[in-house]
Amino acid sequence: MADKDRLRPIESTPLYKSLPELTHRQIITPVIGGTNVPRPVEINDEIARAEKIKNDNAEQDIQLKRNTWYRLFRFLIAETTLIFVLSFFQAIQWPWHFHLEPWSFRLLVAATIGQITAMLYVAVRYLFPNNTPRRR
């Protein structure tokens, strides 16, 4: 009885029945002696797949750079607005007699301008790199 079960057609096995329908282009790789025999590769399909991966990578990179740039730009707008508000309050000494010492106010404004400049430099340099080789 055990020999009959071993020799039954593969189409009647539960594993075969659980496999999805195969198209004419799909190939099941046979196992011979415990090693997989390499399946034939359609070169045009592989080239198309490589191009699709490259295009998807470029699209994802562009989207990531765009999102990073928008977030950075929003932060810089908020920071610049805050400095203008503090400068305005310093000038009119309002609300509640707002006043910073001149040295601390100058330091705050200079540090903020330096930070904005550095952030824009880093963003432009690393988000939009120059692809041409540099001369040294």
Domain ranges of the chain: 43-127
The whole-number pLDDT of residue 132 equals 67
Instruction: Say how far apart CA 23 and CA 43 lie, in whole Å.
Output: 18
Helix/strand/coil for 135? coil
Confidence of residue 122 (pLDDT cuts 50, 70, 90): confident
pLDDT digit string, tens, across residues 94-112: 888 888 899 999 999 999 9
pLDDT in tens, 25-65: 455 555 555 566 566 778 898 999 999 999 999 999 999 99
- Could you count the other beta carbons within 10 Å of the beta carbon of residue 89? 15
